[in-house]
Amino acid sequence: MCTCINFKTKDNYFGRNLDLEYRFNEKVVITPRNYEFKLKNGATINTKHSIIGMATVIENYPLYAEATNEKGLSMSGLYFPGNAHFFDEDNSKLNLAPYELIPYFLGLYSTVSEIRDIISNLLNITNISFATNLPVTDLHWMISDENECIVIEQIKDGLKVYDNPIGVLTNNPPFNYHLTNINNYSNLTPHNEKNGFSDKINLKQYGQGMGAIGLPGDTSPASRFVRAAFNMLNSICNDDEKSSVTQFFHILDSVAIVQGTTITKEEKYDITTYSCCINTNKGIYYYKTYTNNQITAIKMTEKEKNKKELSIYNLVEEQQIKYVN
């Protein structure tokens, strides 16, 4: 359960809600330039570009949930259970394990256009886990820069690459369903609408927002997709940094999951564990957690871009309250 959006004002912003019933020791991690990644296919890469995002670090390897590189290319993995299908290695393909996609593409490339053909024609996402105690997670991915956005899904029929004109991704069903389903809501509007029911009766709107009656409010992936798209595409805000970041988090808040409202089959509470917003032009990672509403910012500085090792920042989890008297 997650929602990812790409939002543009003067700068470009990329981020997501991470919805889970557990935590994964996540931290904000900056990977410097020329950092070595050993791939499961036997190859080794050294990053051309530094990367900032949320990750679990195991043996100096950042397992990114989402990230942006210094060129503004961004990528996020979202849960895609039952539909994701990963294959055995194919010697004619570029074989990457699911957790390797973000460091590989963000470490080596700058734009969506550079990687589109590679993904479409060469990529094979393999069923190889990082470690025996870390099973492969069913994922699909949204990738964007300030000009393009795509979704990649590998299912039993093979790898699918979709243009994403909306700039939103959630979870199941596959992305082509979401692109079709959103047409069911084409009548919604942020405006006050005239009576279209019948000219034989006098119907009046008795409150603001009635033009959007029918906008789904539940936490299912299809409903979150429609709600996030409606709120983002109708969003109006100033284009300065504080206004843009504030608006971005308001959009994510509209699809956030409150503890107790979504219970898994295992009787655990699915919640929005954290929300993040990355200024992809400036390399600034903003986040807040379920237990701390205050926005925290971490910059990808030139010093960190050129370090030899990872820069790792623990999350500020305790609620920050400003008392004024």
State the catalytic residues: 2
Give me 267's structure tokens: 């009787």
SS3 of 223, please?
helix
Report how far apart the first and last C-alpha atoms of the chain are (Å, whole number).
Answer: 40
Strand pairing partners for 29? 53, 312
Cβ atoms 39, 47 nearer than 8 A? no
CA 193 to chain centre: 33
SS3 of 181, please?
helix
Distance, CA of 226 to CA of 296 (rounded, Å): 28
Cβ atoms 30, 50 nearer than 8 A? yes
Cβ atoms 67, 52 nearer than 8 A? yes
CA 169 to chain centre: 7
DSSP-assigned states of every residue in 42-98: S-EEE-SS-EEEEEEEETTEEEEEEEEETTS-EEEEEE-TTT---BPP-TTSEEE-G
Closest to 13 in 3D by CA, of 277, 298, 285, 288 = 277
SS3 of 271, please?
strand
SS3 of 106, please?
helix
